[in-house]
Amino acid sequence: MSGEYAPAAVWPPDSTDEQRASAVLVLRGRILSAVRTFGRTVRLGVRATVLAVADLAAGRFPLREAVVQAWFFASVSLLPAILISLPMGVVIAVQVGSLTENVGAGSMAGAVGGMGVMQQIAPLAAALLVGGAGASAIASDLGARTIREEIDALRTMGIDPHRRLVAPRVVAMTVVAPMLAVLVILMSILASFLVASVGQGVAPGSYWLSFGSFASVTDLVICLGKSAVFGYLVAVIASQRGLQAQGGPKGVADCVNAAVVLGLLACLVVNLIITQIVLLFVPMGLL
């Protein structure tokens, strides 16, 4: 017989295209979900801020709840702040002392170590503290309330959970984070001073003179501003994850994990942005 035989059909059919299309759909769904989550978080942050400012101006802000939350955040973060600050100051003193001695500028140890602590280490340490203990506390509390349908019950009774629960926690975290940063600065610089003066032979007067010559009020203001922004971000993200919890106890655990991870990542990204803005727009004479 003349002609060519048609190739036999392959069974089962090749599913490469179907798998590729399925992967694209999954990726698209995750991207859309991330965008929606980001939008809900921004909307919650704006609403909590507006409610807090309006209630403070009107004199009906739940101050008692904010004070209770601030005390709780401070109490669970105080000891970790000290435990983080002391070894951090020692490490800074060892590294900076070795570097300054190699270049013949041992008297500059106070300036280099102190500036590093104030500009970067203290705000990030505060972010780690509030992003760990504080975020997990907020997410677990609001997540459990959401699972038990307490949030829906508040809405049914005409009580805005954003005003009653979210705004006080956001304000409390925004206030506590700069306080933790100040504690980190004090403990880290003290530990660095002791190591430099006792272990490395740096004159105490030279250490403090170099630190005072380069450190400025602007550095402290930027440090406290960064810490306040980090506390605000952590509180908003943790609140959003808690209010979106679903699926029973596992859902609460998942929202706590997501709150801690997303909060810390947001702080790192925002720290980079703020640092670049400061370097670009703040005059060098103020730094």
**Listed residue (257, 259, 269) closest to 235, CA to CA:** 259
Q: Indicate the DSSP class of residue 7.
A: P
- Among 169, 166, 162, 270, smallest CA distance to 225 is for 270
Domain boundaries, the chain: 62-286
The DSSP secondary-structure symbol of 283 reads -
pLDDT mean across residues, the chain: 85
pLDDT of residue 199: 76
> Residues 113-140, buried b or exposed e (16+ Cβ, 10 A)?
bbbbbbbebbbbbbbbbbbbbbbbbbbb
Grouping H, G, I as helix, E, B as strand and the rest as coil, residue 190 is: helix
Output the six-digit token pair for 17: 């295209």
pLDDT band per the 50, 70, 90 thresholds, residue 13: low
The angle formed by the CA atoms of residues 104, 105 and 107, to the nearest 5 degrees, is: 135
* Structure confidence by residue, pLDDT tens digits, 229-258: 999 999 999 999 999 888 888 888 999 999
CB atoms inside a 10 Å sphere around CB 190:
13
How many other CB atoms are found less than 10 A from the CB of residue 243?
Answer: 20
Continuous H helices in the chain: 16-58, 63-102, 109-116, 122-129, 135-147, 150-156, 161, 167-194, 204-214, 217-243, 249-281
What is the value of pTM for the model shown?
Answer: 0.85
Tens digit of each residue's pLDDT (9 = 90 or more) over 29-48: 778 878 888 888 899 999 99
Predicted confidence at residue 215, as pLDDT, reads 80
Please compute the mean of the pLDDT values over residues 270-277 and round it to a whole number.
92
Q: How confident is the model at residue 21 (pLDDT cuts 50, 70, 90)?
A: confident
Question: Predicted confidence band at 206 (pLDDT cuts at 50, 70, 90)?
Answer: confident
The answer to whether residues 227 and 123 touch, using CB atoms and an 8 Å cutoff, is yes
Which has more pLDDT, 176 or 89? 176
Question: Where is average pLDDT lowest: 60-74, 103-117, 150-164, 179-193?
Answer: 103-117
Residue 1 pLDDT level (bands cut at 50, 70, 90): very low
What SS3 state is found at 287?
coil
pLDDT of 182 higher than 90 = yes
Q: Is 86's pLDDT higher than 70?
A: yes
- How much is the pLDDT for 6? 52
Does pLDDT of 142 surpass 50?
yes
Query: Mean of the pLDDT values across residues 197-208?
Result: 78
48 vs 117: CA distance, rounded Å? 31
| Amino acid at the residue 164 | R
Instruction: Find, among 52, 171, 192, the residue nearest to 118 by Cα.
Output: 192
